[in-house]
Chain A
Amino acid sequence: MKTKILLVPLIIALIIALSIWLVYPAYSNGNNGVKEKYEQLKKEQKNLSNIQNKSTNAQKLSSQLSALSDKNVLYGFIPKSAKEEEIVDNLNFLASSADLFIFNIDLNYSKQNTFLNNSNQSNQTSVSESLPIAKTFKAKIKVAGSYEAIKQFLGSVNKLNRYNDFTVLSIKGNANNQGEDANTSVNMLIADMEITFDILPQAKLSDQNVNDPIFSSDKLDTKIISKIKDARNTKVFQLDVGQKGKANPFLP
């Protein structure tokens, strides 16, 4: 009878003890209890759902991009590579069209990257840090001609549908022509220009930019293409090598 009397409180005590040391920790122990595991499962399911959504959106965006006929407007505006031959050919063509005489064209990569290095930091809503930044390619050019011709050249270079920017422009009267006909002398100017062309290497999808906001939508934003078309409407001429090969490369 005494044992029976003691048994009930003992069982109650055991229930309490088991609840505290065994059952509750099995439910939640801050690490691997059912509650934490369930939260982890929910998190994994959310991640899976996110990546599936992104994958679906990426497929839709990719097919929209493939079908976009004007996409080359953007790729031509900031190309993946310098295409130096295009720069030389186009500057020469535009200068000749404007009746300018070119003394020299000097091309070289700028040691300093473009403004996007710094300003990109404050624009993180749209571009991930891991994405490539634009590099600058400089063309120094010296031309001679009338003021009108120089102005026409500047205008047409500015309208070229490959992005460029004049960083230096110096126009001076041609001192060598002082003794010649007065009108010709006044109108003959020498212009030194430094024009920068931007290059943007191909961006690749990586762990750092997998969360880019672009994948949260299934519609490709192509407004930039019409903006480029409005701002820059002179086509970059495609260069053709023509005939090539020579038995003696030293023969003129």
Chain B
Amino acid sequence: MSNINLATKRNLQNNPKIMSKSLVISMVALILLLCLYGALLLINKKISAQTSSTHDQYETEYNKFLASNASDVVDFKNRSVVAQKLISEDKAMSNMLDQIESSILPAVYLSSYEYDKDKKTILLSCVGDNFNTEARQILSFKESGYFAQVIPGQSRIDAQTNQLNFTINLKLK
């Protein structure tokens, strides 16, 4: 079997050039890659140093900040927030008495007044002349709109004075 050489004379002449050109390109690429790697290592080192220095600076500033007069500012703010909350929930006791005064009937008087903030109630022991007065008194408290609930309690006639003693529990809003 005979061998046939299909390569032309020109190709044979050019191949070494192409070969050496691609070799050079690939070598340059390799060198560039190594340079890139080296640069990355250097940048990494530089960034690390910068990070460390920034962190140290941060620590110094942080400690300086903690040691500054900022505590007074935080205290003022905390006190303001607490005061704001207390003022918004502040209820004047005399206002509650005003409400009772404006709702009490002339024929009724109180024998005791018991306010409990936790239970949000005012327990009134009242003295009146009859059950109709008691009923009108309950209605009067209901109509005032100041109380969330008006709960009538026990009522009984005092045999000695012939007056009606009754209790009313007022639930505050």
Known contacts: A15-B33, A62-B73. The answer to whether A200 contacts B50 by CB under 8 A is: no
For B81, the chain A residues whose CB sits under 8 A away are 123, 126-127
- Residue of B26, B30, B97 touching A151 (CB-CB under 8 A): B97
Interface of A is mostly: helix
For A198, the chain B residues whose CB sits under 8 A away are 82, 86
Which residues, 110 to 169 on A, are CB-close (under 8 Å) to B? Answer: 115-116, 119, 123, 126-127, 131-132, 134, 151, 154-155, 157-158, 163, 165-169
For A15, the chain B residues whose CB sits under 8 A away are 26, 29-30, 33
- Residue of A33, A51, A200 touching B44 (CB-CB under 8 A): A33
Between A33, A165, A172, A203, the greatest number of chain B beta carbons within 10 A of the residue's beta carbon is seen for A203
- Residue of A8, A41, A78, A202 touching B86 (CB-CB under 8 A): A78
Are B78 and A172 neighbours in the complex by a CB distance under 8 Å? Answer: no
| Smallest beta-carbon distance A18→chain B, Å | 6
Are A215 and B30 neighbours in the complex by a CB distance under 8 Å? Answer: no
Are A165 and B90 neighbours in the complex by a CB distance under 8 Å? Answer: yes
Are A171 and B113 neighbours in the complex by a CB distance under 8 Å? Answer: yes
Are B47 and A38 neighbours in the complex by a CB distance under 8 Å? Answer: yes
Query: Can you name the residue of chain B whose Cβ is closest to the Cβ of A172?
Result: B112
Known contacts: A34-B47, A224-B83. The answer to whether A214 contacts B74 by CB under 8 A is: yes
- Residue of B51, B66, B73 touching A40 (CB-CB under 8 A): B51
Q: Is A88 an interface residue (CB 8 A)?
A: no
Query: Can you name the residue of chain B whose Cβ is closest to the Cβ of A71?
Result: B76
Query: Can you name the residue of chain B whose Cβ is closest to the Cβ of A158?
Result: B92
How many of chain B's residues have a CB under 8 angstroms from any CB in A? Answer: 65
Known contacts: A22-B37, A116-B85. The answer to whether A34 contacts B43 by CB under 8 A is: yes
Interface string of A22-38 (1 = CB under 8 A from B): 11001100001110011
Q: Is B36 an interface residue (CB 8 A)?
A: yes
Known contacts: A8-B19, A11-B26. The answer to whether A170 contacts B58 by CB under 8 A is: no
Are B23 and A7 neighbours in the complex by a CB distance under 8 Å? Answer: yes
For B97, the chain A residues whose CB sits under 8 A away are 151, 154
Interface string of B9-33 (1 = CB under 8 A from A): 0000000100110110011011001
Interface string of B66-92 (1 = CB under 8 A from A): 101111111111111111111101101
Q: Is B173 an interface residue (CB 8 A)?
A: no
Are A168 and B73 neighbours in the complex by a CB distance under 8 Å? Answer: no
Q: Could you write out 9 A-B pairs with CB less than 8 Å apart?
A: A7-B26, A18-B33, A18-B37, A40-B51, A44-B54, A155-B94, A205-B65, A212-B74, A231-B90
Residues of A in contact with B (beta carbons under 8 Å apart):
1, 4-5, 7-8, 11-12, 14-15, 18-19, 22-23, 26-27, 32-34, 37-38, 40-41, 44-45, 47-48, 51-52, 54-55, 58-59, 61-62, 65, 71, 74-75, 77-78, 115-116, 119, 123, 126-127, 131-132, 134, 151, 154-155, 157-158, 163, 165-173, 198, 200, 202-206, 209-210, 212, 214-215, 220-221, 224, 227-228, 231
Residues of B in contact with A (beta carbons under 8 Å apart):
16, 19-20, 22-23, 26-27, 29-30, 33-34, 36-37, 40-41, 43-44, 47-48, 50-51, 54-55, 57-58, 61-62, 64-66, 68-87, 89-90, 92-94, 97, 110-118
